[in-house]
Amino acid sequence: MDKELMKASLIALKDCLKLQKGESLLIVTDTKLRTIGESLRAAAIELGNDPVLMKMEVRSRDGEEPPESVTHAMMHSAVVIAPTARSLTHTAARREACKAGARVATMPGILRETMIRCLNADYYAIAERTKRATAVLTGGSVLHVTSKAGTDITLPIRGIKAIASTGLIHEPGSFGNLPSGEAYLMPVEGASEGVFVVDGSMSGIGNLAGKTPITIRVKKGAAVEITGGAAAKKLRAKLEPLGPKAFNIAEFGIGTNDAARITGSILEDEKIMGTIHIALGNNMSMGGTVDVPVHLDGIVKSPTVELDGKKIMDRGKLLLA
């Protein structure tokens, strides 16, 4: 048994999900991340539970629905944890499980090093920081993001309630990533304007260090031009077969996890304190109307973020009272 991975698995179940003895636990994994799934299963047994482990084939993209049998099992479990290569966060299966009262943790593309490093972070400190950022976003009207790499985008958010992904998933119907640490929301649909330059990493593509950044031009809340090198071409190839909805500006988020580092795994990368991310595609999980089977986040490094003319981040430094 991998002792470090086992320790992280115990933290995920006991502290982050508050798993109680006798609760029904479903572990959803796939052929790529079965080692993580098996570690969580062993941890659950050590805690005195009788977990169910379901292994499926790797989905073709983030946001693609799992098999119907997995969806059914998710809806009939008290606790669900999903280490999968592709994200189940923005799926109907996850939403229906939460609606049925499940506490759901998704772990898309998680790496062993990410699980060990980030699940040993101080989640109560991360939770406090995340809640402060969430409150600030919820009370705002217009975000303006700039960066040295060329980002200059305005995202209206008036009337949108931000979501705190704290890593503490304790209430029935709650959900989040593990590891976690982000405050996020959907911008007003059809209203974002400008350009953002993804120079950290991109969902489904990986770490962009040493590569040409992806420049995404936005009009009326949709990406209208995606340029750069090979990474930009790959991103367009992922979005174009799914039609116009895939280009929707779906999310703005602020990372709040001080233990996170850029690894190429978006699960960790989007949580890095000192970064923001903007996603394309599905926004249903944030209260939106754009239902498309894809949700891809792009990380912007060291941004300056102004909310209603007041800086809340200055070149990557989070400014929260």
Q: Which domains does the chain have, with CATH numbers?
A: 3-118 (3.40.1830.10), 123-318 (no CATH)
Over 90: is that where the pLDDT of 149 sits?
Answer: yes
Averaged confidence pLDDT in the chain: 96
Average pLDDT over residues 123-141: 95
Mean pLDDT (whole number) for 244-255: 98
Report how far residue 247's alpha carbon sits from residue 233's, in angstroms, rounded to the nearest whole number: 14
Using a cut of 0.75, tell me whether the model's pTM lies above it: yes
Per residue in 285-299, pLDDT tens? 899 999 999 999 999
What would the pLDDT profile of 171-220 be if each residue is shown by its tens digit?
999 999 999 999 999 999 999 999 999 999 999 999 999 999 999 999 99
Residue 249 has φ and ψ, to the nearest 5°, of: -80, 100
pLDDT of residue 124: 87
Largest CA distance in the chain: 53
Q: How many C-beta atoms surround the C-beta of residue 188 within 10 A? A: 18
Tokens standing for residue 261 = 């580092």
The residues facing 165 across adjacent strands are 182
Q: What pLDDT does residue 1 have?
A: 74
